[in-house]
Amino acid sequence: MNLKNFNLKNFDIKDLKNHFFLSQPHQPFFLLAFINALLSMFLFMLFFKGIIITEFSAKNYHAYSLIYLMFSPAFLAFLFTTFPRFSGVPAIPQKDFLPIFILFLVGSILFLLGAIFSSVLIILAMITILIAQLGSGNILLSIYNASPMYPSEKTDQYWILVAIMVGIVAHLLFILSVWVPSLHIFSIQLSIYLYLFLLTFTVGQRMIPFFSHAPIEKHTERFRVIVGLLGLHVLLEMMQPHSSFLADFFLAYLIGKELHRWRLPFPNPNPLVWILHLGLFWIPISFALSGITSIISLSSGLNFLYLDIHMLLLGFIFTLLIGFGTRVTLGHSGNKMEADRLTTLLFYWTQVVVFVRILTSLALANGWNFFVFFDISITVWLVMFGVWGYRFFSVLIFGKRLEETKFREEE
């Protein structure tokens, strides 16, 4: 089945499984994640400004939709493609990944509808997505156990599984926080630092030096210290908000030192490489500014509107999501591993998203016209995913061949 011969009159539901869209796991998961990024952010704007009233608080809606409707399926798209390769086992068959996708799809629809119409649907949606997370974790654990590699060769896979398991626990705590609100902060902190960040950093330290043709020898002891400091950050924030500044400063120093040791070839002429480098460089910047803003908040009471979390999520995780997502989409569709002018502009636009979100926090802290910056931040986000979808959704769904482009990755 392809775009040219598709006809509703002769369409058979049995043919759906043979569609190109479902032939590889990254395609449906990336598409769902990016559609959720558009819909959930647009609805968040309507909820936050009171245009639509929701039984679920706008803040909780925003956190959940980003973590579990966008980032989670997006990184499963990458992991379901690469984790078997890491482990030296065959690719995940469609019969295993398709039920996980369907659960994420159903959960996403229920959550978006529930936020508007019914809190009961929200609970049902979160349970559905939690089941999907458990299923995906079980798939990855089975691959880990089936791998013929020695345990010492599966260190990255091990930490990926640790992050996935923490994400499941954090998700369960988020659901329980509906009845026990004191669990909410704990669930968010776990989700950001020991789920999304740990997962992304583990994948990044394995793949980015490889893509940069600058292989490194992993510093395992330093990595364990970093994980410990992440746990300390979460613990301190649970005890007293903004009290983790010392842990943040140490994280900024150690991760900055680690990145300097990698000696990545930056600036790099290849957009598919330098976008990943930019994401890495945001890590020490994010932790350093997190420490500074935490001290200011403790001493003066200024509200920076979660600037620390958003800098890490957008500067590092979101930037790598766009970089990795574009690479996988191009590389597994028969297209050349190139970034054309539009794609390169999108990579620059990721940084516009980051800086506008920083300005939005500064606007609230300094008493500027907050809602002007808020509207701009939503707009640049929607433009980002809208244009990415315009460029790559046809590649994900139909395997479209893109025209010749300017930048080509060296073989």
pLDDT at residue 9 in the model: 53
How much is the pTM? 0.92
pLDDT at residue 407 in the model: 45
> What is the 3 state secondary structure string of 62-115?
HHHHHHHHHHHHHHHHHHHHHHHHHHCCCCCCHHHHHHHHHHHHHHHHHHHHHH
pLDDT at residue 405 in the model: 46
User: Which tens digits make up the pLDDT trace of 38-78?
Assistant: 999 999 999 998 888 877 888 899 999 999 999 999 999 99
Q: Tokens 């369907």: give the residue.
A: 102
How many other C-beta atoms lie within 10 A of the C-beta of residue 34? Answer: 25
How far is the first Cα of the chain from the last one, in angstroms, to the nearest whole number? 32
pLDDT at residue 409 in the model: 45
Residue 305 CA to its chain's centroid (Å) = 20
pLDDT at residue 226 in the model: 97
pLDDT at residue 158 in the model: 95
For the domain made up of 22-398, the CATH class stated in words is mainly alpha
* CA angle centred on 320, ends 31 and 282, rounded to 5°: 145
pLDDT at residue 14 in the model: 55
pLDDT at residue 55 in the model: 75
User: Which tens digits make up the pLDDT trace of 107-134?
Assistant: 999 999 999 888 899 999 999 999 999 9
Record the tokens describing residue 328, joined without a space. 């996988």
| pLDDT less than 70: residues of the chain | 1-18, 403-411
Nearest to 395 by CA among 316, 351, 342, 345: 342
Alpha-carbon distance of 383 to 343, in angstroms, equals: 13
Domain ranges of the chain: 22-398
pLDDT at residue 274 in the model: 96
Residues in contact with 318: Cβ distance below 8 Å, sequence separation at least 6, in sequence order: 350, 353, 354
